[in-house]
Structure 1
Amino acid sequence: MTFSDLNPSPEWHAPERRRTPDVLGAFNLIRECERVLPLVCDPSVGAEERAMLLRAAEKLYATLGMILAGKN
């Protein structure tokens, strides 16, 4: 299962449960990250760009690991 498979429930969009723009933006950004990360394996992506993507992904995963471990 991927993050993109996690479609928000209908209650997510209900008017009485409006999310802040930051929360909605963060949710959409995470989905975009998942969509873009396969570029790391794309042969048309150059070595410099691949390294840049990997550094960003490593930082993201390290931060998520700390948050999930309760060390935020």
Structure 2
Amino acid sequence: RLEAHQEGDIVVNGVALHGKMTNVAAVRSNVGMVFQHFNLFPHMTVLMNCMAGPMWVKGVSEKQARKTALKF
């Protein structure tokens, strides 16, 4: 958890996120984030940085990772 929200609702793919969640691992497996500075690979393009996690961690093919990254 990075920050607790103070008000309102956070919904990811139809799943409401709240402090008493029991399915945190399932939600996290479908959520990613890209940091803005220090966690990026400076020798790679934005597209390549977005593709790296799915390819290296989840074993997603380069073609699928590219398709997903371009969607965002």
Give the TM-score normalised by structure 2: 0.30
Instruction: State the structure with bigger RCO (CA 8 A, min sep 6), 1 or 2.
Output: 1
Report the structure, 1 or 2, having the larger strand content: 2
Report the structure, 1 or 2, having the larger helix content: 1
Whichever of the two has the greater Rg, that structure is 1
Give the TM-score normalised by structure 1: 0.30
